[in-house]
Chain A
Amino acid sequence: MTQTDDAGRAAERAARHGYGRLVAWLAVRTGDVAGAEDALADAFASALVDWPSNGVPDRPEAWLMAAARRRQIDHVRHGATRRAAVADIIALTGDDDGAEPGARDIPDKRLELMFVCAHPAIAPEMRAPLMLQTVLGLNAARIASAFLVKPATMGQRLSRAKSKIKLAGLRFAVPEADELPGRLQDVLNAIYAAFTTGRDAPWGDTAPQTGLTTEALWLTQTLRQMMPGEGEVAGLLSLMLHSTARQPASRTAAGAYVPLDQQDTSRWSMAMIAQAETELLAARHCGPIGRYQLEAALQSAHANGRLVGQPDWRAILILHEALRVVAPSLGGEVGRAIARSHCEGPEAGLACLDDMPTSRVGSYQPYWAARAHLLAAAGRLREADRAYGRAIGLSEEEPVRAFLADRRAAALSGEGPGQQAETKADRDAGHRHTS
C-alpha cells in the first residue's frame, strides 16, 4: 500500500515540476500540443500501474518521457501526427535503443511552447489559458473558474486553439531578433492577464483552487531564467512582485478594499519588495525601456512614497507621460491626471480627464472615481456628488462601493482631503488596456 502511495506521490511530484518541460519537449517535435498532452497523460497512467510494483525509477521524468514518446510513435504509425515529424521521432527513439531511458537530460523547450501559446494566430483571450494549461498543467475547470467561463466552454476553446496549433502549423521557435520584441510582448501580456485575473478576482484570490497569481509569478520567474537579457521580462517580474507584496494589506479582514495610501505597510512583504526593486534595477541594464518596466517603476514610486512618507509625484508624472507613449490606456490616462493634480492642483488633473474621449469613459469606473475625488478636492461639491454616484453605480465590488460612499460622505460634509483616488486608478492603470 505504501508503495502505491509512494508511486502516486512520485508521479505527482514529476507532474508538478516536469509537466511543462515534458509537454514542450514532446510538442516541439510534432507541432501537436494536444497530442503531446495526451501522450503524457497516458504515460502518467502507465506510471501509476508500473511504479507500485516495479518501484519508482531513479529519474521519474525520464521514465515518463520515454513512455510518452512510445505513445507518440504509436500515434505516428496510425497516421495521427504530422508526417514531417515521423523521421524525427523515430530517429530520436533509435538513439536510445538499448540505453537506459532518458540517459540524457531533457532539453528545456518551454520557451518555444510559450511563444506558440501567445502566437499572433491565437485569439488574444485564449493565450493566457493555453499557457496555464500547457506549461503548468492546470485543468480546464480550474482555468474556467478563474476566467469566469463555463468549464465545458473553456474546454472547447482550449481544444480548438490546440487543434489550430497543429493543423495550421504554428512555428515552435523563439522568434528572430527583428520579431522578438513584439512577440515577447504578447507572451508577457498573456502572463500578466493570468496574473490580474487572479489578483482582481472578487474573492481576492484567496481560494487556492482558483488563484492564478502564484502560477503567473512562477511563469514569469521561469521566463526570467530562460531570457536573462530581456529587460521587459525583469520589468514584469518586478511589477508582479510589487503588486503581490502589498496584496495582504489591500483588503481588510472583512474583505473591504484598502487604497494604497491607507494600507498598513507592516503587512507588506518587504522581502518581496526588495526582490522587486532588484529586478527593476536589473531591467535598467538591458535594452530599451518598455511598458512593464515603466509600470514597475510606477509601483516602486508609489510603494517607496508610502515608506518614506510622501510619493514623488513629479517622478510619477514623468513615468505616466512615458507610459502613455509606449502603451496608451484609459487607466494610464486616469493615473496621469491624478499625478498632475498632485503636481499642479486638482483643476490641472480635471483638465486631463476632460481631454479623454467621452465615448470611451462613459462606463469606465476608475475615471468617475478619480473625477469625483478631484472635483471634491477642487471644491466643486455638487459635481463631485454626481460623479461619486456614477462611480458607485459602475463599481462591481461591494468593498469598492463602500469605500466610495465613505469618500462621498466625507467630501460633502467638508472633511475629506478628497484627493486620494490615486491607488485604485494606478492599480488599474496597468491592466485595463484600451487596445
Chain B
Amino acid sequence: MQYALIFNETEQAFANRENDQQATYWSAWGAFAQALQEAEVFRGGNALLPPGTGTTVRMVDGERQVQDGPFAEAKEFLGGYMIIDVPDLDSAMTWAARCPAAKDGSVEVRPIRQMSE
C-alpha cells in the first residue's frame, strides 16, 4: 500500500533550516531519505518553504479572498510530505517514527487513495 507521510513542523524547525543548525537539520533529513531509498520504499515527496511564504485563497460569494500566510494560526505547520510504498500501516508507522519531524513536530500517516482501474 502507498502512504503519505505528512510532516508537521514547528516554527523552530523551519528556522533551523536556515540558521546555524542547518547542517544538523538537513543531514537528519538526508539520512532519513537515504534509508527510505535504500529500503526501496520511497516513491516521492517534497519539502515546502516556510508557512510565511504561503498564500491562502478561497472563494466567498463568488469573490476571491486572499490571505497572507497559512489558513490558521497553529503550533505546527505543513513542512513537506513523502510517499512510501510498504505492506501495511504498521510498517508506515515505523518509518514515521524514524522521521526527523516526529521528534519535535508530528507526522501524519495517511493512506493514498487507490484509483480504480
Contact = CB atoms under 8 A, between A and B. Distances in A.
B89 A170 contact: yes
A119 B109 CA distance: 15
B116 A121 contact: no
Nearest to A115: B90
Contacts of B45: none
Question: When A and B form their complex, which 8 residue pairs have the shortest distance between CB atoms, in order from nearest?
Answer: A171-B90, A171-B88, A169-B1, A169-B88, A169-B89, A168-B89, A170-B89, A168-B111
Contacts of B87: 169, 171
Contact of B116 (A79, A119, A120, A169): A79
A226 interface: no
Interface string B80-98: 0000000111111100000
Contacts of A79: 116
A170 B88 contact: yes
Interface in A90-145: 119-121
Contacts, number: 27
B111 A169 contact: yes
B111 A121 contact: no
Contacts of A31: 88
B97 to A, nearest CB: 11
Interface residues on B, range: 10 to 19
9 contacts: A119-B90, A120-B93, A167-B111, A168-B109, A170-B89, A171-B88, A171-B89, A171-B90, A171-B91
Chain B interface SS verdict (over half): mixed
A119 B90 CA distance: 9
Interface of A: 31, 79, 83, 119-121, 167-171, 173
Contacts of B90: 119, 170-171, 173
A175 B54 CA distance: 42
Contacts of A83: 114
A169 to B, nearest CB: 5
Nearest to B91: A171
Contacts of B109: 168
Contacts of A120: 93
Nearest to A179: B90
A121 B93 contact: yes
Nearest to A83: B114
Contacts of B116: 79
Contacts of B1: 169
A83 B117 CA distance: 11
A147 to B, nearest CB: 26
A121 B109 CA distance: 10
A79 B117 CA distance: 10
A151 B88 CA distance: 31
A167 B3 CA distance: 11
Interface in B51-96: 87-93
Contacts of A119: 90
A119 B116 CA distance: 28
A120 B91 CA distance: 13
A98 to B, nearest CB: 33
A78 to B, nearest CB: 12
A53 to B, nearest CB: 40
A170 B92 CA distance: 10
A176 to B, nearest CB: 10
A170 B89 CA distance: 5
A119 B93 CA distance: 12
A170 B88 CA distance: 6
B95 to A, nearest CB: 13
A423 to B, nearest CB: 42
Nearest to B116: A79
A166 to B, nearest CB: 10
A148 to B, nearest CB: 30
